[in-house]
Structure 1
Amino acid sequence: MPRVLIAPDKFKGSLSGAEVAAAIGRGLSRHGAARTVALPVADGGDGTVAAAVASGYLEVPVEATGPTGQPVATHYARRGDVAVVEMAAVSGLAQLPGGRLAPMTATSRGTGEILLAAVEDGCREIVLGIGGSATTDGGAGMVRALGAVFTDAHEQPLTDGGQALAGLHHLDVSAVRERMDGVCLVVACDVDNPLTGPHGAAAVYGPQKGADDLQVAELDAALGHYADLVAAQVGRDEREAPGAGAAGGVGFAGLALLGAQLRPGVDVVFDLIGFEEALEGADLVVIGEGSLDEQTLNGKAPAGVAAAAALRGVPVVAVCGRSTLSAGDLRRAGITATYALSDLEPDVERSMRDATALLEHLGEQVSEDLFASDNH
């Protein structure tokens, strides 16, 4: 009986990766044509903790500060002394009340609070996925939650947010260093932007977080001032390091103040969930994503799965909500066939609402197309 590895990402706004994998698996197994293994994947952003939990990590609930100060009930994942933290789940755009953007004041404090909870719980290796952030505060909120002291010219605690960094007069990170001593922090990061300048955190990502041109300039100057003080404190300047501008400067804080290692998100997640081991002995890999498009090919999890499978000569099919990729794009990505919900249900709202049943049907279709001859 063929062994099928089902390794989808989430269908954003519809189903988690685990729900997608389960639905496809039910369809594939309906006629007993295949033995399936479900292993949801992610790329270091939204869905990273869910992928870890689906692969056997425990979900640890925690309450932390959202990007505009409101409490957020969230969780991290843990196995042994390894923790997986997802910035999007606490400091992300999806956590903004009413979706109201706050480019100047949004804080990464909640991300630091979850890191602190994991450290205090005995975790010695922490993976931090930083995609989807709402912040441009240089990771200042994160490191302050870990014990750093930021004060203004009047020796008063600095307020949160990127704008406030313009008034930073003194910082003391000794407590952070002590707290993080012996902790290995790996940041899942897929961009190489510096902290400041025309390719920096404010210029490139600020507008997506609601900043206009004047605000972008103000944030960039504030981040530059902050970087000056950090360099004076730690004895090196990390503002130009590739990835320093990731997640509004969280990459910078990780490098300069937390001794973090920055790695591509897909690689980090694959290591976490044991993807290479799961790929051993597979006769087919099924990938999945809500929208299979140009972005998929640019470092997203499904493309990473397809590339890893191709190296081992394992065929790959894709199940998606819709696909805008050409036959040539798919072939170059190592994808031999695509099955889209839009082929069954063109109405997007109905397709999202009925995604589970439609995915089961597509799973059955994959089974019939690929394994029918094996059953006769």
Structure 2
Amino acid sequence: MNILIAIDRFEDALTSQEAASYVEEGVKAVHRTANVISVPLFDGQKHLIDGILAWQQGTKYTWKIPDANMKRRDVTAAAMNDRFYIDCSDLYGQTENMLQTSSYGLGQMLLNGLDLDYRVFTIALGETALFDGGMGMLERLGAQFYDLNEEKLAGPLDSESIKKVRRIDLSGLDDRLSESTFTVISDYDYYLFGNKSQIAAQSLPDEAKTKLDNQIWYLNEQFKKTGLYLSLEKGGHAGGLRALFESLFHARTLSSKEMIFEETSIEELLNEADIIIYGGGNVKPADNSLVAQALTQKVSSDKRFIYLAAGQQFAPPDHSVYYLNIYPDMTPETDSMKLGIQLQNSIQTLLNIAR
């Protein structure tokens, strides 16, 4: 019997790897001779680096990098073969002041990768609160921004600097960027500005939202003067970073699901499995992750699909999936060990019943 464990994270209580280890212990207590394969998942929102390194050997780098509010924090990147991975949730997932943000740190991360001789980059935009339109990143990479008096703006530049911009010069961008290829991981199709933008979805006063929205609109008008036209309908993730990478660096954009199925052997493992155990957890009401949705689409009568959820993650729509919410009262304070033991006990009980 082949059993595949492809379980997602449970908020910040358990990573995919941690959750899978508890489930695997429960599985082996029932099916001692089964071939159990545990697949660590990762997404474009959190835990990209650890997930990637769990799949294959690579190198981890940690640097002190300025976050969205220019406070230095430890940020980790990964490299495998010729590809360099950056997870923006490490940089921009805990923004304190959303009215004055800078992507300067991402520019530094890219320079670090270039200096290490990498030319293939994967950048997960993740759960970012960043609204400078990529201005800080471009400045760090060599672009220059000028004010009304044709004086160069002194950096590091942030969203508050946008109103001073009258001319943008992209000719000084690091030459190595033209030799590089980029993949952006984004699960959000935000508009660049307007009612469907990422700014509109923030918990901010209307006045603050209007200010940020106008700044992104204005910067986009300045980009147009350089011949750079950003995607308005789907490029607004990370305050326009997605559109900037797509337009300026011709980046390819993938969802978390597409990335996992492309970079791992999960498709082959899924075809060989007799039992597939998957799921995840959310504190707030939420649909399944894109990866979980993709696995549900593979449901067939010759396999048994078991979905373990927690908190307020909705059940998969396919009624042929065995669904169990193992911890409905999950909160941000839920003890990770309690959650893990509940996962272990639940799958052990379910498999015993099914025998």
TM exceeding 0.5: yes
Summarize deviations over 1:272-307 as a string: whole Å, max 9, x none.
Answer: 23322332311121112123986324x532222322
Structure 2 equivalent of residue 319 of structure 1 = 308
1:221 aligns with 2:214: yes
Structure 2 equivalent of residue 238 of structure 1 = 230
* Contact kept in structure 2, 1:44 and 1:189, CA below 8 Å: yes
* Contact kept in structure 2, 1:81 and 1:123, CA below 8 Å: yes
User: Aligned pair in 2 of structure 1 residues 54, 247: CA closer, same or farther (>3 Å)?
Assistant: same
* Contact kept in structure 1, 2:78 and 2:86, CA below 8 Å: yes
TM-score (norm 1): 0.84
Q: Distance in 2 between matches of 1:185 and 1:312?
A: 40
Structure 2 equivalent of residue 360 of structure 1 = 344
Tell me the CA shift for residue 366 of structure 1. Answer: 3.5
Amino acid corresponding to residue 365 of structure 1 in structure 2: T
Q: Distance in 2 between matches of 1:347 and 1:21?
A: 18
1:121 aligns with 2:102: no
Amino acid corresponding to residue 114 of structure 1 in structure 2: M
Q: Distance in 1 between matches of 2:135 and 2:302?
A: 46
Tell me the CA shift for residue 365 of structure 1. Answer: 2.2
* Contact kept in structure 2, 1:135 and 1:247, CA below 8 Å: yes
Give aligned-pair identity as a percent: 18
* Contact kept in structure 1, 2:120 and 2:182, CA below 8 Å: yes
Structure 2 equivalent of residue 4 of structure 1 = 3
1:63 aligns with 2:56: no
Tell me the CA shift for residue 164 of structure 1. Answer: 2.0
Q: Distance in 2 between matches of 1:273 and 1:312?
A: 25
Tell me the CA shift for residue 353 of structure 1. Answer: 4.5
Q: Distance in 2 between matches of 1:250 and 1:214?
A: 23
Q: Distance in 1 between matches of 2:21 and 2:110?
A: 31
Alignment of 1:77-88 (within 5 A): 77-88=78-89
Q: Pick from 264, 274, 277: which aligns with 1:286?
A: 277
Which consecutive unaligned segments of at least 5 residues does structure 2 have? none
Structure 2 equivalent of residue 47 of structure 1 = 47
Structure 1 equivalent of residue 184 of structure 2 = 187
Q: Across the two proteins, how many residue pairs are aligned to each other? A: 350
Summarize deviations over 1:66-87 as a string: whole Å, max 9, x none.
Answer: 1111111121122101122111
Amino acid corresponding to residue 180 of structure 2 in structure 1: V
Alignment of 1:131-280 (within 5 A): 131-153=126-148, 154-176=151-173, 178-202=175-199, 204-205=200-201, 207-208=202-203, 211-233=204-226, 235-240=227-232, 242-280=233-271
Structure 1 equivalent of residue 326 of structure 2 = 341
Tell me the CA shift for residue 200 of structure 1. Answer: 2.8
Summarize deviations over 1:207-246 as a string: whole Å, max 9, x none.
Answer: 33xx32222222222212211221221x242242x32111
TM-score (norm 2): 0.89
* Contact kept in structure 1, 2:280 and 2:313, CA below 8 Å: no
Tell me the CA shift for residue 368 of structure 1. Answer: 1.6
User: Aligned pair in 2 of structure 1 residues 150, 8: CA closer, same or farther (>3 Å)?
Assistant: farther
* Contact kept in structure 2, 1:152 and 1:158, CA below 8 Å: no
Is the deviation greater in 133-142 or in 110-119?
A: 110-119
C-alpha RMSD of matched pairs (Å): 2.5
1:112 aligns with 2:104: no
3-state secondary structure, aligned to 2:179: coil
Q: Distance in 1 between matches of 2:163 and 2:128?
A: 21
> Which has more helix, going by share of residues?
1
Amino acid corresponding to residue 369 of structure 1 in structure 2: I
Q: Distance in 1 between matches of 2:85 and 2:342?
A: 31
Q: Pick from 123, 126, 130: which aligns with 2:125?
A: 130
3-state secondary structure, aligned to 2:101: coil
Amino acid corresponding to residue 49 of structure 1 in structure 2: I
Amino acid corresponding to residue 67 of structure 1 in structure 2: A
* Contact kept in structure 1, 2:4 and 2:277, CA below 8 Å: yes
Amino acid corresponding to residue 310 of structure 2 in structure 1: G
Q: Distance in 2 between matches of 1:144 and 1:283?
A: 52
Amino acid corresponding to residue 195 of structure 1 in structure 2: L
Summarize deviations over 1:88-137 as a string: whole Å, max 9, x none.
Answer: 011222xx4xxxx3122122222222222223222232111112102111
User: Aligned pair in 2 of structure 1 residues 305, 63: CA closer, same or farther (>3 Å)?
Assistant: farther
Q: Distance in 1 between matches of 2:120 and 2:156?
A: 30
Tell me the CA shift for residue 259 of structure 1. Answer: 1.9
Tell me the CA shift for residue 40 of structure 1. Answer: 1.9
Summarize deviations over 1:293-350 as a string: whole Å, max 9, x none.
Answer: 86324x532222322x33796432111223563xxx53x346611233327xx57555
Which consecutive unaligned segments of at least 5 residues does structure 1 have? none
Amino acid corresponding to residue 248 of structure 1 in structure 2: G
Is the deviation greater in 45-54 or in 160-169?
A: 160-169
